Amino acid sequence: MRPLRGSCRGRVSALRLLLLPALLCALHAPLARAACVEVDSDTEAVAGEGFKLGCISCKMRGEVPASATVDWYFRSKGESEFVHIYNYEDETPTIMDDRFDDRLDWNGSKKTTDLQDGSIYILNVTYNDTGTYRCFFNRILTFPYYEFHTNATKHITINVVAKATRGMASILSEVMMYVSIIGLQVWLVVEMVYCYRKIAAAGEEALRESAAEYLAIASESKDNCAGVQVAE
Ligand SMILES: *[C@@H]1O[C@H](CO)[C@@H](O)[C@H](O)[C@H]1NC(C)=O
Ligand SMILES: *[C@@H]1O[C@H](CO)[C@@H](O)[C@H](O)[C@H]1NC(C)=O
Ligand SMILES: *[C@@H]1O[C@H](CO)[C@@H](O)[C@H](O)[C@H]1NC(C)=O
Ligand SMILES: *[C@@H]1O[C@H](CO)[C@@H](O)[C@H](O)[C@H]1NC(C)=O
């Protein structure tokens, strides 16, 4: 009876280990959004598709009014110098390099000069877009009696990869993964219910057993006593 209890407990805690992260994720998801959070950009672009070059620079003090301009620079793979490719100022975007003509769209803060998100979007990514991008924020904080200049620079190195074409095998293996995950969860739940029942039953049985054992020992010792008395 004892070993069975141990293995049941092991299975139940394995179930908890699987469920706990899922639960934590579910709790975390609806948080955030409101405040400015500096999220790192993606770094892998797919050739022929669009790509968002993320660049967020939060104001140290959100309540202070400010205005900012954003500039983007690009150093393609193999080159040594950054080239100015994009400027965003007074809600007006300007593409400064013909390699990016008609291919850059503003994806940052909208309808404000108080920019905190300076992201841009590259349309139709080509392999020539591989390289390092530099995003530069120039910000003026307006205090009652003076202005304060700050700036921030971020570098993003992107890698352009071929279009991810998914074969039948890949789709099939993903389906199999879900099937096996669900199967495993169901099995664990069934096992858990079975284990709790078994433990409950074992508990009662153990009570009865120990009572019987007690009686047996009691009568055995009586027999022994009788034996000893006879030997004397
Ligand atoms: C970024 O710009 C592209 C192209 O204009 C657009 O399709 C996409 O929805 C924009 N994304 C965001 C988050 O603004
Ligand atoms: C992207 O490239 C395709 C094919 O080269 C072209 O048809 C399409 O117009 C391009 N889109 C943009 C926004 O340049
Ligand atoms: C990429 O760069 C090479 C060399 O500068 C040029 O010949 C080619 O046309 C470029 N490709 C695209 C899609 O711009
Ligand atoms: C950016 O800020 C640093 C220090 O705050 C300053 O030394 C530098 O000159 C500034 N750069 C520009 C281009 O304003």
The ligand placed nearest to the CA atom of residue 54 is 1
Question: pLDDT (tens digit, 0 to 9) for every residue of the chain, 232 residues total?
Answer: 444 444 445 554 554 555 555 544 454 544 434 588 999 998 989 999 999 999 999 998 888 999 999 999 999 998 999 999 999 999 999 999 999 999 999 999 999 999 999 999 999 999 999 999 999 999 999 999 999 999 999 999 999 988 766 778 888 999 999 999 999 999 999 999 999 999 999 888 888 888 888 777 777 666 655 544 544 4
pLDDT at 17: 53
**Residues 116 and 62 reside in one and the same domain:** yes
**Residues 24 and 77 reside in one and the same domain:** no
- Cα(202) to ligand 1 centroid in Å equals 62
**CATH code for the domain of 123:** 2.60.40.10
**Residues 59 and 147 reside in one and the same domain:** yes
**Residues 106 and 15 reside in one and the same domain:** no
The closest residue, in CA terms, to atom 1 on ligand 2 is 124
**Within a domain: 176:** no
**Within a domain: 36:** no
**Within a domain: 203:** yes
**Residues 55 and 149 reside in one and the same domain:** yes
Task: State the Cα–Cα distance between residues 225 and 230, nearest whole angstrom.
Answer: 9
Mutate to test the pocket of ligand 3, among 74, 101, 128, 129 (most ligand atoms within 8 A of CB): 128
Nearest atom within ligand 3 for CA of residue 99? 14
Beta bridge partners of 76: 131
Domain count, the chain: 2
The closest residue, in CA terms, to atom 11 on ligand 2 is 124
**Residues 148 and 79 reside in one and the same domain:** yes
Sheet containing strand 131-142, strands side by side: 44-46, 147-161, 131-142, 66-76, 83-89, 92-95
Are 108 and 119 contacting, i.e. CB atoms less than 8 angstroms apart? yes
pLDDT at 60: 84
pLDDT at 228: 47
pLDDT at 6: 46
Mutate to test the pocket of ligand 2, among 51, 124, 125, 128 (most ligand atoms within 8 A of CB): 124
**Within a domain: 187:** yes
The closest residue, in CA terms, to atom 4 on ligand 3 is 128
Beta bridge partners of 105: 121
Q: Which of 101, 128, 161 corresponds to the end of one domain?
A: 161
**Within a domain: 68:** yes
**What does the DSSP assignment read for 126-174?**
-GGG-EEEEEEEEEEEE-SS-EEEEEEEEEEEEEEE---PPPHHHHHHH
pLDDT at 163: 76
- CB 128 less than 6 A from any atom of ligand 3: yes
Nearest atom within ligand 2 for CA of residue 123? 13
pLDDT at 212: 82
**Within a domain: 76:** yes
For residue 55, give its domain range. 48-161
